[in-house]
Every structure is written in structure tokens, then in C-alpha cells.
Amino acid sequence: MKSITNIVQELQRRFFDTVTSDNLVYNTCWEDPRIDRALLDLNSKSRVLMLTSAGDNALDYLLDDVQHIQCVDINPTQNALLELKKALFKNGNYTLLWNFFGEGQKAGAKLIYHQQLRSLLSKQAQQFWDNHIQNFSPKSNSDSFYFSGTSGKIARTVYNQIQRKRLTLAVENLLSSNSLEEQAYYFREIEPQLWNPFSEWLIGRHATMTMLGVPASQRKMIEQQYEDGLPEFIRQSLRQVFTELPIGENYFWRVYLTGHYAPDCCPNYLLEKHFRALQKRIHRIETHTSSLLHALQKSNETYSHFVLLDHQDWMAFTQPDQLANQWRLILDHAQNGARILFRSARPEPDFLPDFVFGKVSFHPDLTEPLHKKDRVGTYESTHLATVL
């Protein structure tokens, strides 16, 4: 007979699977591609297998002229998002790309979609955007695609709190700071307003973390390391991001605080200087709706690079057999010297199957200095493994 704890864990897992299997969870990537590209050493011979997320980082990797990128996601809506971004490159209008994904809104988005973009999408992507393209249609200046989807709804809640507490000017001053000292000054003004019974309650809800794409297993990792659990981890992460790293280049937090990017603070794929190069290479990105495990089982390809995001954490406690099977298949499909990149809520990758450590070499001398410069700041560690 199952214990109450096991029943709760099973219900949490099912709820997480339900939310993340068919809803748009990530409307922007939450991993820093500047760190990725420094570690991956991509080139014109690189063949990359990666999890799709929002597709931003796959587009970023194209700047290194990679040969091919296979994006895999079990959630079809994440692939639909990347397909829409690809369609905007194929359409050839940079301003339209910026309107949709720089500003996060475009008047007449539905008409533009049907006239210019829909025919460039797969049927699966069409089915999603036929019902959701209105997420780009503004009803007010504060409307934004980046406030849609499950993580976007949490961002909208934070945005509304900023408005309600009259912190808009302080946030604007923080984002326009020209020094770390100035950032720290404005963050000290904002930080006490962030923590109250409501925010503590919100962070403590399993539903909130699920909407942000954080499974129970990853929460458990964090709670094992911090006496006060998630709130302590988030406090430390925010202090590092907003007081120790230049905010002027941190587009990750800008978009969730404001609902849009700035021309000088945005992902590389949104910079006009990169538009033509990415347009010529956009066909090198393919999407596949499947679990990573099933994609590897069906693939006859070998890859020089694997980008696993924080997906390893998801299986660490709940699906150790699946985690082991996934690593066997990764190693079976890895070229000599292949690089495997992933992030974790644990400081060390000690949750991986034992056999992995005899097949790969980890490089903390490379990852630890770069991890300290990660502009996202929501992971405990970054890991690079090379296949022996």
C-alpha cells in the first residue's frame, strides 16, 4: 500500500506532466547562450541535439555556423513557438520579427499571421497558433506575448505587483543603471517590497513552480541545500543577478519585468545585424516532438553536441531507470569527443548513473568561472562533459 507521501508525489508528478505536456510553458529560453557557446566550441561541422525550450538558444547557436541542430521537445507547443520564429525569418521582414518577439506585441497580428506566416508552419504548429496568435495582439500597452503561457502568467503577476506597489520607476532606474553600485542602490530599494506573505505563499505553491516549469524533484534538490528552501535560494539568486552582474546586458530579467526587450538588450537572434545570416541558415534547425529518450531510440544519427538544459534534474529522484537509459543512448549516439552540456539545481552531478563517470570527463575548471557570470542566475551549477 502506498504511503501518503508517495501518493502526494505521484499526484504532483501527474499535475506537472499535465501542465507541461500541452501548454506553452517557456515563452523565452532561461539558459544563458553566452555561457553555452563559450563551453560548446561550435563550428561548421557541429551536429547538435538539444531540447527546444523556446528555441532562442538554437537560433543563437546558428551564429557559429553549425551544420545541423535537432530540437526535441515532448511538448508540441514549444516546437510550435520555435516554428513561428523560423517562419518570421523565412518571411524576411526583420521589423516584423522585432514586433512579435522584441516588443512582444503587434497590432493586426492575427491578420499578418494568416496572410504571411501560417503557410510556413507545420500542421501541428498551425493548430496551436490558430488558437493562440491573439497573444501578440495588444489590448493595452502592458499586453505582451511574454505575459502569456504558464511562466508568462507568473511574470504578469510579478509585473502587476510592481505596478501595485508603485515600484515602476525604481525598476526602470534599476534596468538603466550604469554601474554595479547604482544597481545595488536601486535593488536595495526594491528588495524589501518583494518579500511579503503573498510572495512567500506564491513561491511555496507546487502549482506556481509547475507553471514555471520546475518539477517537484528539482524543488527537492534546492530544499536539501537551503535551510529556508526555495525562498532563500531565490533571494540569493536575485541578489547575485541584480547586484553582481551588469544589468544592462541582462535581457532575461528585463523581459519578465517589463514584458518586452530593448534594442540594445535582447537575445542575439533579435539583433538586426544577425538577421540575414540567420535567415540563410534557418533551414538547419529541425524540430521533433518527442521525449529525448524516444528521439534517441529512433535516431540513426551521431552528434557532436548535446544540450540537455536542466532536464536531468527532472528524473533524478523519480525516474532513475529512465535517466540511466537516456545516458546510455546519449553515449551510443555521441561522436568521439562529443560535448554534453547541462545545468542543475545541485552543485555536483552526483545524481547521475555511476557508469556515466567512466565514460565522460567533466570540466569544472571551465564551467565554474563561467557559471558565476550566468545572467539567468537560477541554477546552482553548469556542467560540461566530454565523451572519452
CATH of domain 4-92+267-387: 3.40.50.150
Given strand 47-51, what is the order of strands in its sheet? 285-289, 68-73, 47-51, 303-307, 334-344, 381-387, 360-362
Average pLDDT over residues 274-295: 97
Confidence of residue 316 (pLDDT cuts 50, 70, 90): confident
Q: What pLDDT was estimated at residue 6?
A: 47
> CATH 3.40.50.150 occupies which residues in the chain?
4-92+267-387
| pTM for the predicted model, two decimal places | 0.91
Q: What is the residue whose three cell numbers read 521537445?
A: 73
Over 70: is that where the pLDDT of 69 sits? yes
3-state secondary structure of 49: strand
Amino acid identity, position 115:
Q
- The more confidently predicted of residues 70 and 202 is 70
Three-class DSSP category at 215: coil
For residue 3, name the pLDDT band (cuts at 50, 70, 90): low
- Indicate if the pLDDT at residue 368 is higher than 90: yes
Predicted local distance difference test score (pLDDT) of residue 347: 92
Compute the C-alpha angle 321/29/65, nearest 5°: 95
List the one residue out of 261, 378, 361 whose CA is nearest residue 313.
378
Residue with cell 533524478: 316
Q: Residues 245, 185: contact at Cβ < 8 Å? A: no
Averaged confidence pLDDT in the chain: 90
3-state helix, strand and coil shares in percent for the chain, rounded to the nearest 5: 60, 10, 30
